[in-house]
Amino acid sequence: MGYPDSVLADDEVVVLHRHPHWKRLVGPVLILLIATFLAAAAAAWVDSLSWAPNAKAVVSAVIGAIWLLLVCWLTLWPFLTWLSTHFVVTDRRVMFRHGLLTRSGIDIPLARINSVEFTHGLFDRLLRTGTLIIESASQDPLEFYDVPRVERVHSLLYHEVFDTLDADER
């Protein structure tokens, strides 16, 4: 699910487009693996019992339904949410869009940005991710979590803001 190209002006150029860091998907993948293992073990156990075939079929169907519910809720939903979250820097603004069923977003014109900061702890440094903090002229600082290669994004955004300010002064 891409961000809509229709939100870009005719001559606006995308400089950077990122989804949140893949570390957000580690938990859902682990849940998928554990749920699948447990469901397979339970189905094998039920199959080994000396129950009537109809009873085995009903219990296996219940196990399958519970597995499907868990996978959709705890694995598929977080993945689709990750996929539909976009951090975009153009030559004019910073855009953040998120949401699956209901969408929301914010646009910050580069000319209104006062400062750009980033933070990341040891684990985030190992994964090359972090939090990007953008302070604009009219709002409290906005924090964007789990931005991949946050230092590179920080530097790129700083240069884009600097280039925008230079262009406005000419």
pLDDT one-digit tens code per residue, 39-54: 999 999 999 999 999 9
Q: State the CB neighbour count (10 A cutoff) for residue 85.
A: 21
Rounded (10°) angle between helices 53-71 and 26-48: 180
CATH top class, domain 89-169: mainly beta
58 three-class SS: helix
Cβ atoms of 53 and 61 closer than 8 Å: no
**pTM recorded for the entire structure:** 0.85
Domain ranges of the chain: 26-81, 89-169
Please answer whether residues 79 and 65 qualify as being in contact, where contact means their C-beta atoms are separated by less than 8 angstroms. Answer: no
What's the confidence (pLDDT) of residue 166?
Answer: 64
Residue 169's pLDDT band (boundaries 50, 70, 90)?
low
Return the DSSP state at 88.
Answer: E
Model confidence pLDDT, tens digit, residues 3-29: 667 788 888 999 999 999 999 999 999
Q: What pLDDT shows up at residue 162?
A: 79
Per-residue pLDDT at 139: 73
In the predicted model, is pLDDT for residue 116 greater than 90?
Answer: yes
pLDDT band at 108 (very low <50, low <70, confident <90, very high): very high
Residue 113 φ then ψ, to 5°: -80, 125
- Report the amino acid identity of residue 155: S
Do residues 93 and 110 touch, judged by C-beta distance below 8 A?
A: yes
- Using alpha carbons only, how large is the chain's radius of gyration in Å? 23
CA distances from 59 to 31, 55, 72 (A): 22, 6, 20
Inter-residue contact 89 to 109 (CB < 8 Å)? no
Q: Could you tell me the maximum CA-CA distance found in the chain, to the nearest angstrom?
A: 84
- Could you tell me the two tokens for 25? 């998907």
